[in-house]
Each structure stands twice: as structure tokens, then as C-alpha cells.
Structure 1
């Protein structure tokens, strides 16, 4: 403590003042001199004890901060007494809790990133391996023209699959990072469905599937048209993929004082009961998933809808079709 300049100055000042008071008292009487000396000694002693206590407490806080910087957030320095030192302790404790929570979140993010990289590597490995094999076969000058055309077509399909995967992952990463600015426009559900149905009309026509739409043309909600259409497209693609030829997809929508609801139902092969809790999990593929399924479309739909104050639920029975229920809370 005596190494601190402020303490040295304080003690020197107090000693000079007390020495001056003792000399002044000596001009009056011996009793006054003794009294002043005794009071001065007591004051210096009390000041010394109090200053020593404060420095010990500050040293404890310094040690606590060193432990925090070392990654130990388990210590508790909360103090229920009054005073500036107690306030400082409580504020340090609050910062410690905040740092602990941030560290936990960062750890979770690292785990998610590791899992995502692992999933992406797994998803890319299969098409890349397939394309490498076909590229080697294409280098054979004696390869028949029919096989060369077939391999070239297959490579194109795999490249389109990789392009879609990368594009989808970029969109998901933007949503996860919170960098996507969702517009808050009034959207007519009828217009949303028209935009979402365009990319799936040809696959539906190939499979001779019918789509039935039922709802008031005035039904609307507040959201982002393009992003919401992206979500609905992925849901419709899932319905088309899991519905047999000649099947039916029904879309109904309605609005009340609390929310706007869109219900998309198919009469396809449905989702197994054990797969339902994980259907919106990224890269999850259920028992009835197709061979080309990646397991990212429904995860993207879920992220887009929930990021816009919406809710999406799924009900399904194996062999009896699937129903997706989307709700946008009124604002």
C-alpha cells in the first residue's frame, strides 16, 4: 500500500498537519499538547486502518478480474451492503454474468459452425465424387456418344444441385446472422401464392397433380413478399415431391383479428411420426425423403417465417398426406 503515491501524499499531509497542531498546542499547556497528540495519533491510526481495508478489498477485486480474464466465471462478489465499493462489486458481478452468457453463446455458435461445415462437406462430397468419376470416364476417347451425353447431363444435374445448395446455405447464413432486412409491406395472400406456384407448376404438370386454392382475395398480412414466397415455394416443392402422380394439393387461407393463416395440404405419402419433431431441422431427411433430397428446404422455410413474427406447424400421418399450417401474427 505504501508504494502508492497517493497514500504517501496523504500520510505526509496528515503528519504535517498534526505536527503543526501539536506545536501550536505546546504554546498553551502540556495537557493541550498531550490531547492534540493523542487525537492526532488516533486519527492517523483510523485512517491507516480504513485505507488498508479498502486496498485489501480492491486487491480482491483485482484478483477476481484476473480470474475472469483467465476464463473463470464461477466466482460471486455480490455485496448487499451500502457504499460505493459494494456498488462496484455488484456492477462487476453483472458484467461477469454478461461475459459468461456471451461466452456460452459463442461456444454454441462454434458448435453450430462446426456441425454446419461437417454437414456441408457431407452434402458436397457425394456429387463431387460422382462428377470426378464421370469426368474420368469422359476423358476416354473410346467412350460411346450416348454414354458421353448421359454423363454430361448427369454432371450438369449435379452442378445445379450444388449451386442450389450453396445459394440456400448463403440465404440461411444471412438469416441466422440477422443481416437480412425483411420488409413490412401489406401482402395479399393471393398474390403471394401466385408468385410461389410459378416454379412448381411444371413439376406438378409432369406428375399430373392438381392444386385447389380456397380463400378470400382480400386476405392479407404484413411481411416481405419475396422472402415469404421463397418459404412457400420450398413447402410446395416438398408437397409435390412427396405426392404421387395424379395427387392433389390444397391451399386455403383466411384472416381474423389475431392472425392470417395459410394451410397447405397434400394427399401424398406423409411423414413418419418419429420424423415430425425434426422435420424443420437443417439437413434432416426423413424416412420418406427422396434420393435427391438435401433436407434444407423446410429448414429455410421455417427460418424465413419465424423471422417475420410467424409460426409454422406440420401435421402428418404416414400414408395419409401432410398439412403445413402457417400463421402470421397481426401487427
Structure 2
């Protein structure tokens, strides 16, 4: 503290004021009065220096606290219940510490999620790539039967389509996560939306002889993005088609009220186990009844698209009772 130039100037000014006050007292009054003034000046100067030393000690403690924060220790609590500028400073530093701690936790969580995502993506790509490498080696055999050659070529095409879908879905998800997708706020008629979502699934449904039952008012609508919402519904319907048995039925019902527009999609498949229900919207999660070709990203993308438009999606299911997806788009932001 004593090496601080400000303190040195402060002491110099105190000595100067004390000396001037003592001299003036001796001239105007008497030497006893001058001695009394000098003693009072010394006491005031001593009290000021003691208070200044205490403040420096408190600031030194805050400096040590900040050094510990910079080294990653966020567990300290320096708040007190007193009034004053130092107490306010302590509270503000503590608030910043909480923000830094939360930011660090978010970074660690994002890092962990990124590591897991890269691992999952690598695993998803490794299987089809390995399969294609094996089949390409077999195709190089000139003695290979023509029917086998066509089979291997078709399998390679299927695997390439799977990789293309995976990469495309991941790109869409990354855009949504980054907030670069600007969702339109148009009036979307649910009946038209469902027709658009069902179109790419008509052939798989026809092969499995499945039936779609559409119920509800054709004038039902909500405010949202037609194309992105269709993308979400395609992934939900695709999941229903895959888990509905041959000859099964998928029921779609829609209605609206002053609060929200609701779309219900229900199949009569095996259903989702109770253990899997809390995780089906998690990326790369594959439940017990998931197919071999399932990636576990379709429902995650549907969830991101719907919730990004101030919507909700809920799933209800029971073993052998089928699965029902309930989608709500609210009239106003909540």
C-alpha cells in the first residue's frame, strides 16, 4: 500500500494540512491550541490511513478471488449483507462469476454433445461405407454372376441414398440449432400440409397395404412455415409407417380452438416401450423396436422444427396399443 503513488500524495497532503493548521493555530490563538489541533490532525490522519489500509486489504481479497476464478474455481461466494460500494462490488463480481460458471458449463455440455454427435455420425457412416467397400470389391470380379452384380449395384445405391439423407438431415438440424433458419409465418392449411407430407410415403404405404384415415375440418389452419412443417410431419409419418404392420391403419385428426391448432397422428403398431418414451426425440436415440436401418434423427429433427415455431409435440404410447403423436401450434407466442 505504501508504494502506491496515490497513498504517498494522500499522506503528503495530510502532513501539509496538519502543519498549516498547527502554525495558524499558534499564530491566531496559542501554542496549547496549536498542539491540540496537531493531535486532532494526527488522529484523523491515522483513522484515514487505517480505513484506507482496510479497503486495500478487502481489494486484495477480491483480487485473489478473481485470480481463483481465472484458474477455474467458481465455488466461492463473497457476497455479504452490508451496505456500501465494496458490498455492491462483491455482489456484482459474484453475479459475473455465476455467469462465467454457467457459460463454462454450457461449453462443457456443448463439447460433450459435439463429441457424442461426431461419434454417432461416424458410426452411422461407417456401416454403409464398409458395406459399399465390400460390394465394390465383389463387383470388380469379372466372373461375378449378372444377377448378383445387379443386386450389389442396387445395394450400393440404397446405401448412398441413406448417406445422402443422413447428411441432408444433419445439415438441416445444424441450421436450426445455429438459428440461421428463418421460419415463415404464413397461414398454413392443415389438410394441404398433410397431403404434402403423405405424398412421398404413398408407395411404402401401398407396399405394406396400409390405410390412412383423415379426420377433421378441412379449413383448420395455423400460422407457420409450410415447407419446414411438412418436413417435420414427413419424419413423424415415416416413423408411423415403419412401425405399423402390414394392413394397419394410420389415423390423422386435426382441430383448432382459440388457443391452438392440434394435429393428432396415431398408428396401430407395437407401440413404444415405457423406457424409451422420454428419449425418442433425442438425436441418434434408437429404441428397442427401432429397425436396423433406423438412424434416430428423424424425430429429433421434427421436434426441433415444431418447437422452433412455438409449437409442442407430445407422444403417447403403450405396448401393443400403437403410438400417438400430438402436435400443437399456438395462436400466440407463449
Identify the TM-score tier after normalising by the shorter chain.
over 0.9
Q: What does residue 12 of structure 2 align with?
A: 12
Q: Which residue of 1 aligns with 2:129?
A: 128
1:150-172: CA deviation from partner (whole Å, max 9, x where unpaired): 21211111111011111111222
Find the aligned partners of 2:209 and 2:39 in 1 and give their Cα distance.
107
C-alpha spacing 1:24/1:317, structure 2 compared with 1 (3 Å): closer
Could you say if the C-alpha distance between residues 33 and 320 of structure 1 is closer, same or farther in structure 2, counting changes exceeding 3 Å? closer
**CA distance in 2 between partners of 1:82 and 1:274 (Å):** 53
The answer to whether 1:199 aligns with 2:200 is yes
SS of the counterpart of 1:274?
Answer: coil
Deviation at 1:233, TM superposition (A): 0.4
Partner of 1:67 in structure 2?
68
Q: Distance in 2 between matches of 1:65 and 1:251?
A: 59
Which position in structure 2 is the counterpart of 1:26? Answer: 26
Matched, 1:36 2:24: no
Give the secondary structure class of the aligned counterpart of 2:76.
coil
Offset of residue 240 of structure 1:
1.2
User: Which residue of the partner structure matches residue 259 of structure 2?
Assistant: 258
Provide the alpha-carbon RMSD of the alignment: 1.5
2:274 maps to what in 1?
Answer: 273
The alignment partner of 2:214 has SS state of strand
Task: Give CA-to-partner distance per residue, 1:139-189, whole Å, 9 cap, x none.
Answer: 223223322222121111111101111111122222233332222222111
Q: SS where residue 275 of structure 2 aligns?
A: helix
Cα distance in 2 for partners of 1:330, 1:144 equals 61
Instruction: Say if 1:274 and 1:76 are closer, same or farther in 2 by CA, change over 3 A.
Output: closer
Alignment partners' CA distance in 2, 1:207 and 1:47: 90
Aligned equivalents of 1:48, 1:274: Cα separation in 2: 68
| Residues in 2 aligned to 1:227 and 1:27: alpha-carbon distance in whole angstroms | 92
Q: Which structure 2 residues correspond to residues 84-99 of structure 1 after superposition, within 5 A?
A: 84-99=85-100
Shift of 1:311: 1.6
Q: CA deviation at 1:24?
A: 2.2
TM-score (norm 2): 0.94
Quote the offset at 1:25 in angstroms.
Answer: 2.3
Which stretches in structure 2 are left out of the alignment for 5+ residues? none
Q: What do residues 4-61 of structure 1 show as CA deviations (whole Å, max 9, x unaligned)?
A: 1111111111111211222222324211220121111112111111111111111111
How big is each residue's C-alpha offset from its partner over 1:215-259, in whole Å with a ceiling of 9 and x where there is no partner?
Answer: 112211122211111110001111111222222211110001221
Q: Distance in 2 between matches of 1:186 and 1:44?
A: 76
Which runs of 5 or more structure 1 residues have no equivalent in the other structure?
Answer: none
Q: Which residue of 1 aligns with 2:293?
A: 292
Cα deviation digits, residues 242-299 of structure 1 (max 9, x gap): 2222222111100012211111112233323332232222222222222211111111
How many Å apart are 1:320 and its aligned residue?
3.4
User: TM-score with structure 1 length normalisation?
Assistant: 0.95
Following superposition, the deviation at residue 68 of structure 1 comes to 0.5
Distance (whole Å) between structure 2 residues aligned to residue 273 and residue 38 of structure 1: 84
- State how far apart, in whole Å, the 1-side matches of 2:169 and 2:249 are: 27
How far 1:194 moved relative to its partner?
Answer: 1.6
1:49 aligned partner: 50
3-state SS, counterpart of residue 108 of structure 1: helix
**Closer/same/farther in 2, CA of residues 17 and 251 from structure 1, 3 Å limit:** same
Kindly indicate whether residue 323 of structure 2 is the aligned counterpart of residue 322 of structure 1: yes
| Matched residue SS, 2:315 | strand
The secondary structure found in structure 1 opposite 2:276 is: helix
Quote the Cα distance in structure 2 between the aligned partners of 1:184 and 1:152.
44
Tell me which residue corresponds to 2:84: 83
